[in-house]
């Protein structure tokens, strides 16, 4: 039962992070397309937001590992 729970935890975490990063990149590219002068500021904020989304994926990995190895 634990491997299934771990797989679900990491799967949902990866799907969530992937969706968030895709939405962030799409919005940033649209914003840069509308206002190329603000590209540097938009890119910096996008990188920070992507890092936070990836942190959530890492948290789901930690939860999956806890499910597997802590009894």
- In the chain, the percentage of residues whose pLDDT exceeds 90 is 90
Domains in the chain, number: 1
What's the CATH number where 25 sits?
A: 1.20.20.10
Can you tell me the distance from the alpha carbon of 36 to that of 32, in angstroms, rounded to the nearest whole number?
Answer: 5
- 71 has a pLDDT exceeding 80: no
Output the pLDDT for position 35.
95
Range of the structural domain that residue 60 is part of: 2-69
Instruction: Summarize pLDDT for 1-57 with one digit per residue, the tens.
Output: 789 999 999 999 999 999 999 999 999 999 999 999 999 999 999 999 999 999 999
């Amino acid at each position: 039962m634990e491997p299934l729970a771990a797989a679900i935890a990491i799967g949902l975490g990866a799907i969530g992070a992937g969706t968030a990063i895709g939405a962030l990149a799409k919005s940033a590219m649209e914003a840069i397309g509308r206002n190329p002068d603000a590209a540097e500021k938009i890119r910096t904020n996008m990188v920070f937001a992507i890092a936070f989304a990836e942190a959530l994926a890492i948290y789901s990995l930690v939860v999956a590992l806890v499910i597997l190895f802590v009894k």
